[in-house]
A and B are shown apart, each in its own frame.
Chain A
């Protein structure tokens, strides 16, 4: 029989009627979930409604079968609200892969593991470590149903829902049974895991995250002791440690120690995960957890697995509609590595709270965190976001003002705190004090901008793929903000002439340009662009960075003027001048980075253009597309920006297709070869590479303090070094091509003589000096 949505049929009668044939799938979203009555399948003849737990059940098979005769096979009965999403959720009864109640001959519905069987100490260890593996698989994004909730022990503790911690026992439903010491120990460990999960879910759901993409929060109607204070669970773990010490004698001491360190770990882990932390001791939570890890790792070999203690069949009771899915197996070695990373990432995250409270420092930290070698997990990111967004918008308004001060208002009257202390004149006809007016303009701006600002920070806390997508949205918001800012700038300008031109606009525009650069560069990092798109994308990046370079150069001049003027003034002014000089280093660092980006991009664009004419980069035939349409697609996120940032199609074409289309040039092959053999072809590229190298070297020399990355010195230096190496590699590639060009007679020759590496799919992974710089390797054959 075909599947059906129950919606139509279940409306007969009143109240809550459930129909025993296929229910509309709830897509695992747990809407009206988990009726254990699914076990009634296969169908039964029931003349009278069965009353169970307040709902009445009719068998409508007969009527349904009859009614469906009226339809042709394949005819779809649907209204416009029936979506693909729902069709995916539909089920077919009696299909073993879709019907959750379907049993193979001889198969039992429930697992039959006895949670009260006597366990060897090695088996306790085995179960603990297996649970750890599933816990880490869950952290990676798999649902509880396919990980921890496959444990019979966990299931016993959670279902039926215990009213107290004492009620959560392995002997549920077996009153009168008692547990032995090792079982008590295992129980405490399980309670610890469950409470850990509760904290993890609480933390992740309190931040911006994407269900399933980042993490699965479903608990299938199981409460993970949310209401039980974690001290109670800690207490259980402590008792377990005592029991182990006193009541478990006749076991191998090493095994005993192994079990003990797992209990201790669980206790410390739970404390570290707790949402109630003391801000002053934030650096004290994770080190003890990490300290216990080596002992767990080294004693894992003592563990003996108990495969029967885990079963997919438990899923039948978790969700009514989805058949059991396979357990997600993560090897101990991998799970342990994940755990270790989690602890390290969280320890790293706490450093955020000890940073110099400057927005640039914070942002450097967020970038460094997001760029860690292995992407931090959803929990670690939420943990960090918890510190970032601990305050309300007022904190961000403060950060925003500091950000403005660091960029466009060096020791400036506009941000003088005095301005916020001036009262409005009693008589509204009197002119307002200028300082008061300035304060209210800035307030207007921060009120208007703070939401966009917060969203930008939020984007920086996402997984890398999501970050790029969110930046595309944020970019449009900043574009809008830019036009609003210019109005406020005019008002400011009317109050004082001693000002950077269009300060607010400058600040917004700079951040907007940076976001464009980030979006393109994350595109390189994520292999979004095909090899033959690189020439165009690096050209675009060069242009955006050039615009930023000009903006920053003007700004730097202003800082310098202000510094000079203050140096000539009174003592207070001279002190201010020193501060301006210090702050100027930040602008210089930004400028150096922009120049380096512009020059290296320009060089790479030229290099890729040359390589394209030698057929050294894959050129898909693309019968269904045209360069214009692909240009539209590529420039879409930037197409509406004001001022226009994208390079007009024709200009782009002249730049990257100087001899006509790469695959079918309009210039004769000889003239292209001739071009490739001329020193003048390479001089501008080499010059660009050199300027890029100089700029990044300058950035390196300015150092992390100037760049406001003091809190993440090492990562910052590593990334600057990566840029420098990229320049060197680019220089080598240019030289490689030039060295070979002399031997070419026609452009077709190159294929047998040269090969380009490091550009195609996956080739660059982990091998680039810096993920944002795809530098080709030109290899002589």
Chain B
């Protein structure tokens, strides 16, 4: 599996779910694609952390020879009481951007998380990442807060949230469970070797 740069017809793309048994085929390409937009790479552990536990929430766009786009997620119980999906990584080959590929990948991930009974889906993205903001907001995400200097490069992020079920807001005891959340600094920008938000 490679990352070629020759534009392909998007009609020829295949959207497939990640399979752990094919790690050797896919993982190197995924890493390469994700780390293109990073100044510092994530270790293989970060990828395995997600893919081993939530491989079924990872979708790839493939052409005949290479990986064109990927989305990586997780889904678990959050201490606020919700069953929370999290979009951890998303990237599309530069040559293939603006054609709806990321939209398709994220839609598949949302469907998969909805099918698994998720209450909500959250993610962070840089306040200046127009493409990403536009993409998620078109799908229905809203901004819930601004996170000052969230990324290692000093940039500020928006937290984006999509509720999937009624009653999510009032679920659980902790109504405002935000501070102290150990979400990672995200892949698509400057990855962190630790979360930038310290628990209060």
- A residues neighboring B (CB under 8 Å): 2-3, 25, 27-29, 73-76, 78, 83-85, 87-92, 95, 97-98, 140-142, 210-214, 322, 325-326, 463-466, 468-469, 472-473, 476, 526-530, 533, 620-625, 628-630, 632-637, 639-640, 761
Q: Closest 7 A-B residue pairs measured CB to CB?
A: A625-B140, A74-B23, A27-B194, A622-B140, A90-B45, A87-B49, A76-B52
The B156-196 residues at the A interface (CB cut-off 8 A) are 156, 158, 161-170, 175-176, 178-179, 182-185, 191-196
B64 close to chain A: CB less than 8 A: no
- On chain B, the residues within 8 Å of A213 by CB distance are 147-150, 196-198
Query: In terms of DSSP, what is the predominant structure of the interface of chain B?
Result: loop
B110 and A527 contacting across the interface, CB-CB below 8 Å? no
Question: Could you mark each residue 41-59 of chain B with 1 if its beta carbon is under 8 Å from any beta carbon of chain A, else 0?
Answer: 1111110110111000000
- B residues neighboring A (CB under 8 Å): 20, 23-24, 27, 39-46, 48-49, 51-53, 74, 107, 110, 114, 127, 130, 133, 137-150, 154, 156, 158, 161-170, 175-176, 178-179, 182-185, 191-198, 200
Task: Give the docked Cα–Cα distance between A142 and B154 (Å).
Answer: 7
A476 and B175 contacting across the interface, CB-CB below 8 Å? yes
- On chain B, the residues within 8 Å of A623 by CB distance are 107, 139-140
Task: Give the docked Cα–Cα distance between A45 and B162 (Å).
Answer: 54
Residue on A nearest B27 in the bound complex, by CB: A74
Q: What are some 13 contacts across the A-B interface (CB < 8 A)?
A: A3-B45, A74-B20, A75-B52, A76-B48, A84-B74, A92-B43, A98-B41, A213-B196, A527-B143, A629-B163, A630-B163, A636-B169, A636-B176
Residue on B nearest A74 in the bound complex, by CB: B23
CB distance from A3 to the nearest CB of B (A): 6
- On chain B, the residues within 8 Å of A636 by CB distance are 169-170, 175-176
Residue of B41, B53, B163 with most partner-chain A CB within 10 A? B163
B46 and A2 contacting across the interface, CB-CB below 8 Å? no
- On chain B, the residues within 8 Å of A28 by CB distance are 193-194
A633 and B24 contacting across the interface, CB-CB below 8 Å? no
A88 and B193 contacting across the interface, CB-CB below 8 Å? yes
Give the A-B contact count at a CB cut-off of 8 A: 183
CB distance from B112 to the nearest CB of A (A): 12
Task: Give the docked Cα–Cα distance between A212 and B183 (Å).
Answer: 14
Task: Give the docked Cα–Cα distance between A85 and B145 (Å).
Answer: 22
Residue of A83, A210, A623, A629 with most partner-chain B CB within 10 A? A629
CB distance from A642 to the nearest CB of B (A): 13
Partner of A88, one of B148, B192, B198: B192
Given contacts A3-B45, A213-B150, A214-B148, contact A74 B162 (CB under 8 A): no
A466 and B170 contacting across the interface, CB-CB below 8 Å? no
- On chain A, the residues within 8 Å of B191 by CB distance are 88
- On chain A, the residues within 8 Å of B179 by CB distance are 469, 473
CB distance from B177 to the nearest CB of A (A): 10
Task: Give the docked Cα–Cα distance between A269 and B165 (Å).
Answer: 56
Task: Give the docked Cα–Cα distance between A87 and B50 (Å).
Answer: 10
- On chain A, the residues within 8 Å of B182 by CB distance are 83-85
A325 and B40 contacting across the interface, CB-CB below 8 Å? yes
